[in-house]
Structure 1
Amino acid sequence: MAKSLREKATCPVCLDFFSNPISLSCAHVFCFYCILNWVSKRDDSKLTCPLCRGSSEKPPVEEWQIRILTLLIKQHGPLLELSLQVSSELQWFREDMTLDAATANSLLVISDDRRSVQCAKTHHDMMEDPRQFTYLTCVLGMSCFSSGRHYWEVEVGEVKEWSLGVCKESVDRKRKSNLSSKHGFWTISMKAGAIHANSIPERRIPASPGLQRVGIFLDVEMEEIKFFDVGNDALIYTYCPLSSLERFSPFFFLELPGESDSSAALRICP
């Protein structure tokens, strides 16, 4: 009896339980995606049953699109709702974040409250410290994370080119370029008016012209980091999996301004 019921609930194509089942005119039933994949591989105007080879007219394209959209909304609706309510939900994990001046490149100026950083025109005198970044104009946050969920926001303001995210605590402080995940950096960057995910391969993401504040949510147990456009309440990008045996350090990078450009500041929102 149980075996018979299982057979009736199993798709003949994928041999798994039905997912959004669809019945053809011959009365055979399949998963919707199994039939969609079957149809996509055939150019004729008839829909042929994978079992009995019985044929019928393909449904209109609009009908298939509506079915796909409905299925996606059912499957991912909770995630869509979360992304639209991200600002209020993530405040529970908000960090009182400050900058670690000892890690800052000598061309960076840290504010007295250690929440703001900007580029100087010339190097300022600093005692040598192995924690300091030698070539990259970046600085780390004071906090390091090995567990839990953590959220912070950064005002990017008028800074034209920047990178934000996290890095391994042990990253090479003498690195001259390549802030990729391969080298322990999980960041997004603003370059020439577009956002780039520094993954492998690198991904280019359209940026809102009004992007002013970036929200960063690190979930160590779920091995992911998410970036949000806070002003538009929208998800920008997600890194997953985010795996490291080391602690994660918040990462802040500013591109050096041109000779005629004024220096703008990145600021951690309190």
Structure 2
Amino acid sequence: MNRVNITKSSPLRMTSCCCVLFCFRSQDPSLNEKDKLIAKAKLNRAQEFAKDVTLDPDTANPYLILSDDGKQIYCSNVRQNRPDNPKSFNTACNVLAKQSFSSGRFYYEVQVEGMAAWDLGVVKESIDRKGSITASPENGFWTICLRKGLKYRASSVHLSLKHQPKKVGVFVDYANGSVSFYDVDSADLIHHFTACSFTEKLYPFFSPGCLNGGNNTPLIISDVNYTD
């Protein structure tokens, strides 16, 4: 399982470590295979806590279109006839799930294949939903995002991924204060928030991004296919 977080403060150090690790593993394929098995086992354990998650139209930005089953969402250039709601996002193209969690562990998966931009994760109940929003743990957002089809970020941290994930798994351990993101197909850990201070309800958070070059591919909350 390979994950490299590149920050502006230490690009050379992180790059050199990455090269050493890659060269070492390329000389011993058995170690790489063992890592894959360990990564798959960790993902399987997270998938055991899968929950049914559906989108809440009362929280949706008026330019978002939701499917009838609450599992798919995409951004339109036409404002939807949806009444204003104190719980809705009026500027950012965001939406929350109906379900909230204030204890235990939970997991869900989202299909993002073919999308040029998206945001995923969890947020605390009391986040700002009106006006300009900065997604950061300090503001109650534990999320990752894709921009312009190739730039991945977790808050202010830029992420370097081996592959573009087609499906992302989100795992939250409320008591342990952690949020983990997985590439479901490879079982690679994309990012891991730790030492999070959870004191209120958490809601799964989604954004399909604004229209980008006519790309309105839907973001899809998918069924979790757990395999031991």
Relative to the length of structure 2, the TM-score reads 0.79
Q: What does residue 159 of structure 1 align with?
A: 115
Aligned pair count reads 192
Q: Deviations over 1:164-219 (max 9, x none)?
A: 00001111110423111111101001123021011xxx111113444100000000
Q: Any idea what SS the aligned residue of 2:43 has?
A: helix
TM-score (norm 1): 0.67
- AA aligned to 1:214 is V
Aligned equivalents of 2:132 and 2:80: distance in 1? 19
Partner of 2:217: 264
2:172 and 2:180 in contact (8 A); partners too: yes
User: Could you tell me which residue of structure 2 aligns to residue 222 of structure 1?
Assistant: 176
* 1:107 maps onto 2:63 in alignment: yes
Structure 2 unaligned regions, length at least 5: 1-23, 25-30, 224-228
The alignment partner of 1:182 has SS state of helix
Distance change (3 Å), C-alpha of 1:136 and 1:81: same
Q: Give the 3-state SS of the residue equivalent to 2:121 in structure 1.
A: strand
User: What is the CA-CA distance between 1:254 and the residue it aligns to?
Assistant: 2.2
The whole-number CA distance in structure 2 between the counterparts of 1:87 and 1:203 is: 23
Name 1:44's counterpart in structure 2. Answer: none
1:189 and 2:145 equivalent? yes
Letter in 2 for 1:130: P
Q: CA deviation at 1:80?
A: 7.9
1:233 equivalent in alignment to 2:190: no
C-alpha RMSD of matched pairs (Å): 2.1
Identity %: 31
What is the SS of the residue equivalent to 2:48? helix
Within 5 Å, give how 1:124-163 maps onto structure 2.
124-163=80-119
Whose RCO is larger (CA < 8 A, sep 6+)?
2
- Deviation, 1:94, is 0.5
Gapped regions of structure 1 (runs ≥ 5): 1-65, 67-72
8 Å CA contact 1:153–1:216 kept in 2: the answer is yes
Displacement after TM superposition at 1:262 (Å): 2.9
